[in-house]
A and B are shown apart, each in its own frame.
Chain A
Amino acid sequence: QKEVEQDPGPLSVPEGAIVSLNCTYSNSAFQYFMWYRQYSRKGPELLMYTYSSGNKEDGRFTAQVDKSSKYISLFIRDSQPSDSATYLCAMGSLIQGAQKLVFGQGTRLTINP
């Protein structure tokens, strides 16, 4: 079993829809939780990060963490075609001064105009 599980999709929704992306994890030692967005042929860029259970909102994006269930989500409101990308969840720990990240497989999202 992988440490981080993420449905690879693909997921296709109409413009304006609410998108829900999810990951589960098995290692309770993870200290922080991140979502990266990766456009085609580009490197990942950090979208959201949080340390604790609960919700964190940034514009149209909300990151939700439930440590008791080992489950994290990313919600995108009023989705736009420019949101079309692969979304990667990542779980991290600080070990020997290094940020040790474990990534999910990534979910490919397409927003249709």
Chain B
Amino acid sequence: GAGVSQSPSNKVTEKGKDVELRCDPISGHTALYWYRQSLGQGLEFLIYFQGNSAPDKSGLPSDRFSAERTGGSVSTLTIQRTQQEDSAVYLCASSLPRTDTQYFGPGTRLTVL
């Protein structure tokens, strides 16, 4: 079956603009995670969804970052008033609940000029 998909694959934006990043998890996966990977850095946890609710938003770096999930499926990560330090690869992963394996999408490479 299809894996986790993310769109767009690349996004270049100007400082101060808002961006929306989309994640389509594997069908049936109720858990969804967002991570950020900056150049030369490991993955940084941003937010976790179980169904449509987000019990753990502890990794969101500022109030410019928000995420939602609808219908227990697609999730959107929104970054408002983008800054150059937001440039990174944003990765989404999904899993069955209370299981070990997170399946990652290919990521969205965000560049803020």
Contact = CB atoms under 8 A, between A and B. Distances in A.
B106 A8 contact: no
Interface residues of B, number: 27
Contacts, number: 66
A61 to B, nearest CB: 16
Contact of A105 (B42, B50, B55): B42
17 contacts: A32-B100, A42-B106, A43-B93, A44-B43, A44-B104, A46-B102, A46-B103, A88-B43, A90-B43, A98-B31, A98-B48, A100-B56, A101-B102, A103-B43, A105-B40, A105-B41, A105-B42
Given A46-B101, A90-B43, A98-B48, 19 more contacts: A4-B42, A6-B42, A8-B40, A42-B107, A43-B91, A44-B43, A49-B100, A88-B43, A97-B31, A97-B50, A98-B31, A98-B55, A100-B48, A100-B56, A102-B45, A103-B42, A103-B43, A103-B44, A105-B41
